[in-house]
């Protein structure tokens, strides 16, 4: 499914719509450059599940936890990950086991880990102010984003 947005608010709205279709245990993995709108979309997802506080990139801490919505949300930013093995140091497996939703910015840094998981891929491509957002669920996963 491909969507086009021209403002950060539209990207957040798409995130909120996606949030309604998520289940415990889902893994969302972004691809796309710095400034593409990964954090903007994650903000929309967090607000869509009912989390009301601020959502920023966990660039230095690698992960933020958003609790208090209908599902726990774990927001990863792997930009500063040097080696994929470091995922285990930050307890990635434990987060996966916590029956929440894991959202991963810079998933390009964890190809091996993600290759063995069922992932909802979200690619954001930039052309000027337009974002082309392509959401690819695993085979046989029906994602209904009608609001
Ligand atoms: P990322 O997490 O991918 O690095 P951010 O969400 O932090 O990106 O930042 C996206 C930037 O792009 C923000 O400054 C935002 O205002 C701007 N922007 C412009 N158009 C859009 C759009 N259509 N969707 C999302 N962000 C947009
Ligand atoms: Mg970001």
Give the global pTM. 0.96
Residue-level pLDDT at 147: 53
- pLDDT exceeds cutoff 60 at 98: yes
For the segment 35-89, what is each residue's pLDDT rounded down to a tens digit?
999 999 999 999 999 999 999 999 888 999 999 999 999 999 999 999 999 999 9
Does residue 67's CB lie within 6 angstroms of at least one atom of ligand 1? no
Which residue lies with its CA nearest to atom 7 of ligand 1? 39
- pLDDT exceeds cutoff 90 at 104: yes
Does residue 37's CB lie within 6 angstroms of at least one atom of ligand 1? yes
Integer Rg of the chain from CA: 14
Three-class SS of residue 140? Answer: coil
Does residue 58's CB lie within 6 angstroms of at least one atom of ligand 1? no
Residue for token digits 């840094």?
109
For the segment 121-133, what is each residue's pLDDT rounded down to a tens digit?
999 999 988 999 9
> Do the beta carbons of residue 115 and residue 138 sit within 8 Å?
no
């Amino acid at each position: 499914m491909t969507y086009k947005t021209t403002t950060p608010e539209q990207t957040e709205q798409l995130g909120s719509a996606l949030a309604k279709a998520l289940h415990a245990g889902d893994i969302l993995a972004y691809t796309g450059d710095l400034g593409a709108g990964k954090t903007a979309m994650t903000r929309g997802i967090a607000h869509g599940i009912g989390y009301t506080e601020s959502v920023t990139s966990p660039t230095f801490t690698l992960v933020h936890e958003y609790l208090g919505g209908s599902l726990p949300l774990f927001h990863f930013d792997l930009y500063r990950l040097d080696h994929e093995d470091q995922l285990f140091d930050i307890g990635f497996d434990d987060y996966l086991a916590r029956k929440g939703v894991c959202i991963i910015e810079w998933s390009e840094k964890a190809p091996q880990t993600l290759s063995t998981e069922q992932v909802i891929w979200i690619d954001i491509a930039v052309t000027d102010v337009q974002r082309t957002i392509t959401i690819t669920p695993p085979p046989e996963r029906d994602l209904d984003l009608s609001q």
